[in-house]
Amino acid sequence: MSTASSLFHVSGSAVGRDLYDKAWKKGLAGQKSISVTKIATLVVIVATLVLALYPPDAVAYLCTFAYGAIAATFLAPFGATLYWKRATREGVIASMVGGLAATLLWYTFVYSKTASVITHTNIAPPLGLLDPLFVGIPISFALIIIVSLLTKKPPDEHVERAFAGIS
């Protein structure tokens, strides 16, 4: 229950505070943003209930797609910034954009389970059977390494501060 309530609150707050108050009203909404947050939270709860009661057939594919895209976007940058002092901002950005783009393009044009529905393309096995995760993640790792090595090294004081207390 706590995970669900946290997600509902975050979703409502994202609409009410981030979109409505900060982006649209430029911080001038005041009490109105609280009302928008409450309404957005209620809409998310109702939408979740409807999807739970009448799940579309594509729920499993959507979950698989979402987690694959998240992994291809964040796994390499997360690992590299935790364990590699040479990772750069440009490398992280290239890795995130490249990993996500590779995954989306593979889902759209190559992967037989989704490409045949989205773009009506049929790639013969074994390529068409290769899950986009096995394309996006290696591309993401390759990009963070290559771009980080080709761009200016982060300042030593930044690296020392970021890795302070870690052996």
The string of pLDDT tens digits covering residues 70-128 is 999 999 999 999 999 999 999 999 999 999 999 999 989 999 888 888 888 888 888 88
28, pLDDT greater than 90 = no
The residue type of 84 is W
- Separation between Cα atoms, residue 97 and residue 135, nearest integer Å: 14
Question: Where does a domain end: 30, 53, 76?
Answer: 53
The verdict on whether omega for the bond into residue 126 sits within 30 degrees of 0, i.e. cis, is: yes
* The total number of structural domains that make up the chain: 2
Q: What is the pLDDT of residue 57?
A: 72
Residues 89, 49 within the same domain: no
Q: What is the pLDDT of residue 27?
A: 66
Of all residues in the chain, the percent with pLDDT exceeding 70 is 96
Whether 167 is in a domain gets the answer no
Give every CB contact of residue 130 below 8 A, 6+ residues apart in sequence: 106, 110, 111
Dump pLDDT digits (tens) for 34-53.
888 899 999 999 998 998 88
Cβ burial of 21 (10 Å; 0-12, 13-18, 19+) is buried
